[in-house]
Amino acid sequence: MRAWLAMSVVEFLAREPADIAGRLAAHQVSRGYTGTAEQQTAWDGQIKTLRAALCAFAGAGWTLALEFDLLRLEKRIDAVLLTDRAILAMEFKTAGPTLAALAEAEDYALDLRDFHAGSRAHAIVPVLVAGSGGFVPPLQAWLLPKHPTEPLVCGPRGLAALIAWVQAAIPADDAPLDGPAWLAAPYRPTPNIIEAATMLYARNGVAEIAAARADAANLSHTTAAIARVVAEARATGSKRIIFVTGIPGAGKTLCGLNTVFGVAHGKGAAFLTGNVPLVTVLRAAIVADALARRECARPEAERRAIARLQNVHRFLEDGVTDEAHHPAERLIVFDEAQRAWDEAKAVLGTRNKPSKLSMSEPAHTLAIMGRHEGWAVIVALIGQGQEINTGEAGLAEWGRVIATDPRWHAHAAHALPNLPEDRRDADAALDLTVPLRSVRESCGAAWVDAVLRGAADEAARLAATSDDFPFHLTRDLDAMRVALRTEARGLRRAGLVASAGAKRLRADGLGVQLEDVANWFLLRWPDVRASDALETIATEYDCQGLELDLVGIAWGGDFIRVAGGWAARRFVGSVWQRDAKEFDFVRNTYRVLLTRARYETIIYVPRGDAADRTRSPAEFDAIADFLLACGARPLVQATATRTPALVPLLL
């Protein structure tokens, strides 16, 4: 049971307040938390308020759960009241109500809706108990309440009136809410990648994350398969390379982080990626979390984060600088290994930094990790259809270099190009096929794939089978922003993305790219640098491997419909030029952008301008018509302010 203390309302009212507070304090200590006088005072106030409010409902047969753990949020709901018809998620504050506290209460309710099996079929009401006022009901009673409802606010002396109003406003269920059954229902959160990284780092592996969803059991199977191979390598002193494949959003990065922070904790492990934004954001998040937990000072927190999350190009260059040097890590996770550089790109380096490499990145990786006496393990994460740049070697190069080095043995779900089958152990658990990124809908990745293959009928069938299809289309940029702000409830995060090649979006006011990726992903509105300010766009290079709750994607002129198919273009000077050799990279760019959202994706297709030859209305109309034929839902117009208004309080 996730609640620290749960009982019927009758039992709660029969117990002495000191006994209840003492039991909560004992649970706090048993979970390794340090008790404080402030927490004890807060509990005393909450218990007093709840007793006064629930006296009028003593015979209703309701259930009360105190301190309900929410793993994904790393927080606890102060109190959950289970009536016969509603779930009231209550947040208590001693100070007056604030927008931040209101968003926190609403986020608790959203978390229950999305991840707690016992909450999906019942009304959920977020409640903020703050300040000293009473309860003023909404100006208009709920006709069709949202799920969860809009948050309600009251002071301690208004809680009884608020509960009575909820009971009158929410219709009775055909099957009344069963308190004990609700408490026993599974809670399986799917954290976003930033939340997962901070939790895994802080706890050195969280089993509940690995088994995030009941319908995604292969994630836990993959984690277990990696652990088995690591254990075999250590026991036999052998060298193994594990290929983890999967569709976008299936949890490859999560498996990699869990390996570094959990399976290989204390064994010398690092997560390597050439994705600079991913490293930047995760390092910043881990450092901020370590400081918040007072684990260590900032310099030490930064050192630890850098040791575990490294830039793969710097790791390889350090390794080739001194060929006698043995890396500190016996296990590395190579993120987006399909994007490892081939020899030509590796030798060339980048425009700003000449390279020290003389072979492909896969070849150098095996050579450097092969210097260890005894065991070494490489976990290569392979994303399907996510190559977005030239010089990316792909699986064929990994197969070739393994075949030439007999010290290494591969483990993978599928055959590897250039690698004999007797050099590979087949394990189906190493292929992740169930999408985790999308919280409520599992057909998103398949729909995107069908759209980008031009299979309109297949895409339409997938969309038709979904009760909560997450892709919407609009031709109105302002409507997209309004919808993103409306749907980003609680602490959910929204942001705008676009292809780096969509140069003519600047005519729509979308030419400003973000300057600091960590601020964009970690700060919140009203800071204008945050993603949910909806002022700057992230490109595929900024957001690959990361995610948002809601995404607004602006479709550019670099990927258009021509003669019944897709075509890729580059903007050079003042004109578009057809670029057939870049087709796969541009198509994969849109695959990355269309699979960034955990909830809804809103696609904005500009209307174009007949007077501007670079923004043909006919070209954009063809894109919009095709997406609608594929099942994208027309965006329902909505009106919303940037932040919700607080319910007025009686003073």
Q: Mean of the pLDDT values across residues 528-534?
A: 94
Residues near 242 by beta carbon (within 8 Å), at least 6 away in sequence: 225, 226, 229, 377, 378, 379, 380, 410, 411, 412, 430
pLDDT at 437 > cutoff 70: no
- The confidence band for 331, taking pLDDT boundaries of 50, 70 and 90, is very high
Selection from 544, 522, 547, 109 nearest residue 289 by Cα:
522
Higher pLDDT residue, 575 or 385?
A: 575
- Give tens-digit pLDDT for 62-101: 999 999 988 665 688 999 999 999 999 999 998 999 999 9
Per the prediction, the chain carries an average pLDDT of 87
Rounded Cα distance, 278 and 546, in Å: 7
Q: Lowest mean pLDDT: which of 173-187, 215-229, 604-618?
A: 215-229
Measure the N-to-C terminal CA separation of the chain; round to a whole number of Å.
38
Cα angle at 70 between 66 and 73, to 5 degrees?
A: 130
| Contact in structure between 116 and 93 (CB atoms under 8 Å) | no
Q: What is the per-residue pLDDT across 129-161, written as a single tens digit (0 to 9) for each?
A: 999 889 999 988 887 788 999 999 999 999 999
Given a cut of 90, whether residue 401 has pLDDT beyond it is: yes
Q: What average pLDDT does this structure show over 489-506?
A: 94
Tens digits of per-residue pLDDT, 540-574?
A: 999 888 889 999 999 999 999 998 799 999 999 99
Comparing 178-192, 208-222, 460-474, which segment has the lowest mean pLDDT? 208-222
pLDDT of residue 217: 52
Average pLDDT score over residue span 618-643: 82
Is it the case that residue 645 has pLDDT exceeding 70? no
Is 191 within 8 Å of 72 (Cβ atoms)?
yes
Question: Using 50, 70 and 90 to split pLDDT, how confident is the model at 122?
Answer: very high
Query: Can you list the pairs that 138-147 forms with residues at least 24 positions away whose Cβ atoms lie under 8 Å?
Result: 138/647, 141/169, 142/169, 142/170, 145/169, 145/170, 147/113, 147/123
Mean pLDDT of 363-376: 94
Tokens of 333: 């996770």
* Domains annotated on the chain, with CATH: 3-184 (no CATH), 193-432 (3.40.50.300), 444-634 (3.40.50)
Whether residue 647 is predicted with pLDDT greater than 70 in this model: the reply is no
- Helices 444-453 and 456-464, packing angle to 10 deg: 160
Q: Starting at the earlier edge strand, list the strands of the sheet with 575-578.
A: 559-562, 565-572, 575-578
- pLDDT given at position 74: 67
Asked if the model's pLDDT at residue 8 lies above 70, the reply is yes
- Name the more confident of 578 and 605: 605
Q: What angle do CA 568, 597, 70 make, to 5 degrees?
A: 165
* Residue 568 to residue 164: CA distance in whole angstroms: 60
10 Å CB burial of residue 45 (0-12, 13-18, 19+) is: middle
Tell me: the pLDDT tens digits for 29-65?
A: 887 777 788 889 999 999 999 999 999 898 778 999 9
Q: Sorting pLDDT into bands at 50, 70 and 90, what band is 218?
A: low
pTM: 0.81
DSSP character at residue 72:
T
User: What are the tens digits of pLDDT across the range 12-28?
Assistant: 999 999 999 999 999 88
pLDDT-wise least confident of 84-93, 123-132, 394-403, 491-500: 394-403
CB-based contacts of 176, cutoff 8 Å, min separation 6:
84, 85
Please work out, in degrees rounded to the nearest 5, the angle formed at the alpha carbon of residue 251 by the alpha carbons of 248 and 255: 140
pLDDT at 503: 95
Does pLDDT of 638 surpass 90?
no
Question: Cα–Cα distance between 510 and 515 in angstroms, integer?
Answer: 14
Mean pLDDT for the stretch of residues 298-314 = 89
**What mean pLDDT is predicted for residues 190-213?**
61
Q: What is the average pLDDT across 174-182?
A: 90
Give CA torsion, residues 4, 7, 12, 16, to 10 deg: -50
Q: Provide the total of helices (H) and of strands (E) in the chain, helices listed first.
A: 23, 23
Which among 575, 557, 574 is positioned nearest to 566, based on CA atoms? 557
**Arithmetic mean of pLDDT, 629-644:** 70
Query: Going edge to edge, which strands form the sheet with 75-82?
Result: 3-8, 63-70, 75-82, 86-92, 123-129, 152-154
